[in-house]
Structure 1
Amino acid sequence: MARDTAWRAAVITLSDGVIAGTRQDRSGEVLSGMLAEAGYEIRVRKAVEDTEDLIVTALLEACDEVDLVVTTGGTGLGPRDVTPEATRRVIDREVPGLSQMMMAAGLAVTPMAALSRAVVGARGSALIINLPGSPKGAVENLEPVLGVLPHALDLLAGDTVH
C-alpha cells in the first residue's frame, strides 16, 4: 500500500556536552539531513542530557508524535551511556535484526563497533533506533537500515498485507 504522506521523525541527541553548550550537535544535524533527504518529515529535534529518566520521558513524548525516533549518543560503555537502558524501558518489542544490520556495517569499518550497545525496538506504532554519538558512527549505522525502514514502519502502522 502506497503512503500518501511522509513518515514523521524525531531526532534526539543525548549529550551532556550539547546541553551544557560545550559541544555542537553535529550528529543530530547530519541525521536530520539524512532523514529529510530520504523523505522523512522532521517533527521533533531536541537534545537531552544523559540521564535515564529524562531520556525515557523524551522517548515517550516522541513516540506519541512521530513514527520514527532516532537517538544519537549514549550507546557506549561510559558511565553516563544509558540510552539502551532507557530505550528498553520504553519499547514493547525489540527488533534485533536492525541492530544486527547496524553492528555488521559498523564492524566492516572498525572493530570498535563491537562496543556499541545500540537497541532498536517498537513502542506501539513507533520505531526507536539508537545510534552512536559521533557523526561518522551515526551515519555508518543509519545508512544500512534506511532502506528497510519504510517497510518496518508500514508493518507497525498495520499498512502491509501479508
Structure 2
Amino acid sequence: MENVKLKVAVIIASDTRSSGVNKDETIPMLKKFIEESNWVSIDASIVPDERELLKEKMIFYADILKVDLILTSGGTGPSKRDVTPEATRDVIQKELPGFSEAIRMESFKTVKTAILSRGISGIRNDTLIINLPGNPKGAIDSLTVIKEAIPHCIEIMQGKGGSNGHDSK
C-alpha cells in the first residue's frame, strides 16, 4: 500500500458539537494528520450520540464510499449517551482489539482516565474502523500510537499482500 493513498472518513460522535453548542476542533486536527500521513480525507461528519445514526454513517462510508479507514472520535466513555463502541460492534464483522488496547495502554501512561475508554476497532468488509477519544489532542495522540500498523493491516485485510510475520506454509 506504499504507493496507494489510504482513503479516510472521519465521524465525530457528539451531541453538543452536532447541535452547534460546542465548536468541533477534532476534524481539522484529524484532517491535518491524514494529509501529513499522505492519506486522503474523503469526508467528515458530526453526528449526535445516537447508535442508529452512527451505524448508518459507518455503513455509508464503508459500503457506499468504500473508504479504507473510518476514524470515529467521541462517544467511547462510560456515560449513558456514549454509544460509539456499540454502534461499531453492530457493523463490524471482525474485531481487532490490538489497536484499541495499544491506544489505552499508551494513553494511560499520561492520562489515568484513559482507562475509562471503551473504544473498539474492527473490520467491515474492506474497511478498518477505529474508535478514538473525543478530546482532539487525545484523538491525535491515539492515532499517532497506531499509525504505522494501519496501512499494513488494510493491505492484509484487503488481500493486497503483506506479511504478518509468520510463515503460513
Please give the TM-score of this superposition, normalised by the length of structure 2: 0.91
Find the aligned partners of 2:75 and 2:100 in 1 and give their Cα distance.
Answer: 15
Asked if residue 25 in structure 1 is aligned to residue 49 in structure 2, the reply is no
> Which residue type is aligned with residue 34 of structure 1?
F
Q: Give every structure 1 segment of 4 or more consecutive aligned residues whose post-TM-superposition deviation is greater than 2 Å.
A: 2-5
Q: Which residue of 1 aligns with 2:143?
A: 142
Q: Determine the structure 2 residue equivalent to 1:160.
A: 161
What does residue 67 of structure 1 align with? 68
Alpha-carbon separation, structure 2, partners of 1:121 and 1:147? 16
Q: How many residues align?
A: 161
User: What's 1:48 paired with?
Assistant: 47
Which deviations, in whole Å up to 9, do the C-alpha atoms of 1:92-151 show, x marking residues without a partner? 011011111111111111110000000010011100000111112111211110011110
Aligned to 1:70, the other structure's residue is in SS state strand
Counterparts of 1:151 and 1:96 in 2: how far apart (Å)? 16
AA aligned opposite 1:127: L
Cα RMSD between the aligned structures?
A: 1.1
CA distance in 2, matches of 1:76, 1:54: 18
Partner of 2:103: 102
Letter in 2 for 1:52: R
What residue identity is the alignment partner of 1:80?
A: R
Q: Which has the higher helix share?
A: 1
- Write the distance in 1 (CA, Å) between the matches of 2:100 and 2:162: 25
In 2: Cα distance, 1:95 partner to 1:33 partner: 25
Mind listing any 5+ residue stretches in structure 1 that lack a counterpart?
none
- Report Cα offsets for 1:3-32 as digits up to 9, x if no partner: 433110001111111111111111122112
Partner of 1:83: 84
Give TM-score scaled by structure 1 length.
Answer: 0.95
